[in-house]
Amino acid sequence: MASAAEGDVGTVAELAKVLRFGFEELSLNKLATSLGASEQALRLIISIFMGYPLAVFYRRYLFFKDTYLIHLFHTFTGLSIAYFNFGNQLYHSLLCIVLQFLILRLMGRTVTAVLTTYCFQMAYLLAGYYYTATGNYDIKWTMPHCVLTLKLIGLAVDYFDGGKDQNSLSSEQQKYAIRGVPSLLEVAGFSYFYGAFLVGPQFSMNHYMKLVQGQLTDTPGKIPNSTIPALRRLSLGLVYLVGYTVLSPHITEDYLLTEDYENHPFWFRCMYMLLWGKFVLNKYVTCWLVTEGVCILTGLGFNGFDEHGKAQWDACANMKVWLFETTPRFTGTIASFNINTNAWVARYFFKRLKFLGNKELSQGLSLLFLALWHGLHSGYLVCFQMEFLIVIVERQAASLIQESPALSRLSSITVLQPFYYLVQQTIHWLFMGYSMTAFCLFTWDKWLKVYKSVYFLGHVFFLSLLFILPYVHKAMVPRKEKLKKMG
């Protein structure tokens, strides 16, 4: 009888589990459909916003507790978020974290450990892209894994630097070098931190350890006064989220592939590409602002004090929103967008290529690394190739205007400043949209179709300038200015 009763209880429990899972799937599906989003996108948004109650719990109950409890909390919550979004595929992140810990322990602070980490972590990520890639943007386990890949590579490089003589390191390397030996629990907590596991931002192990040791606060010995700064970033993120939700049904990359788009006049195709290019980035801005708020709330966003003694909370900022919205330059957009990832590439890749003795080559290889890190689609390579080309041309143009007396005087006319700004912004966002077309459409047949419809305008415009500007510079810059620059 007891055995039968236990069996019945087990059956009921199993049935309840299945029904609960079924209701969860049904409700999420219905809610996602009503919002015009995919279920995976909804799960992602829920997970990002869940960082706020988790951060409140951490502040209230764990901020000054034993570090192992905090590592456990971060590991458990991160794994739960991974399971909620990707189910059993969370094993990918778990496997790479454990293997990375073993690489550090078995190979030590060696170049071999760093190279092994680069090769293994990137190979694993690229294999994931290869086996899961489709022609559309899908939210899969590879999305947080690309964030994790950079974290683990940075961990290996910082651990390697920690074994060097401090005097041989730059001030930046000294700041990030890991002197101790991280435990598996520390590496797991660092990797699974709920405020950054899914979409970033990047931060170092040293910065994370300051968090768990209670050092990231503006009032030593007390919980940080970071609630208001966190709510500001959350509010700004919500503004972008609402804007994106309202406009996303009307401004889509799919329209770029339609006959209706092709049948419109050339000026319309260009203007739509401009507006879409400005709009499409808002989904990334939304996620980064919301997660930055989580990081600020926990204290991870604390970045010391400014010269007036005011606490700064921008250590995990991935966006400089004002600069992003107002800059008329491509380099300004790069400096204001995905800041921590760009800083990571500069610190762990670009500057490590100094031995090549060629800044442009190092920059080109860094952009190639970024393109591969994003995925295997040809669109990523085209996008970052365009970025490389645009930045070179923009520097040439800025140098020409600065060094040519005639152009310098013309550019300084106050009454013409609004006109210059409007022209710059039009060029800026038109070709930002042109570059993002390849990035968002992924496959060559799609982006090639759109580029044909605008007659490869971006490539023609910037390649022409690349070859023309040196001759213009030679003609318009006096010899004495050139000699002064050389001197």
The catalytic residues are 338, 374
Query: Helix %, strand %, coil % for the chain, to 5?
Result: 75, 0, 20
Instruction: Please give the DSSP secondary-structure letter assigned to residue 312.
Output: -
Burial of 268 (0-12, 13-18, 19+ CB in 10 A): exposed
CA–CA distance, 436 with 326 (Å, rounded to integer)? 19
CA nearest to 295, candidates 233, 378, 385, 372: 233
Cis omega (within 30 of 0) for bond into 220: no
Residues 6+ apart with CB under 8 A from 160: 109, 110, 111, 113, 114
Q: Is there a contact between 212 and 62 (Cβ–Cβ < 8 Å)?
A: no
The number of beta carbons lying within 10 Å of the beta carbon of residue 240 is 21
- Are 120 and 99 spatial neighbours (Cβ–Cβ below 8 Å)? yes
Burial status of residue 345 (CB atoms within 10 A of its CB: 0-12, 13-18, 19 or more): buried
Nearest to 100 by CA among 176, 152, 34: 152
Contact yes or no for 59/298 (Cβ under 8 A): yes
CA angle 186, 287, 197 (to 5 degrees): 15
Contact in structure between 203 and 316 (CB atoms under 8 Å): yes
- Which residue, 295, 94, 110, is CA-closest to 187? 94
- Radius of gyration of the chain from its Cα atoms, rounded to whole angstroms: 25
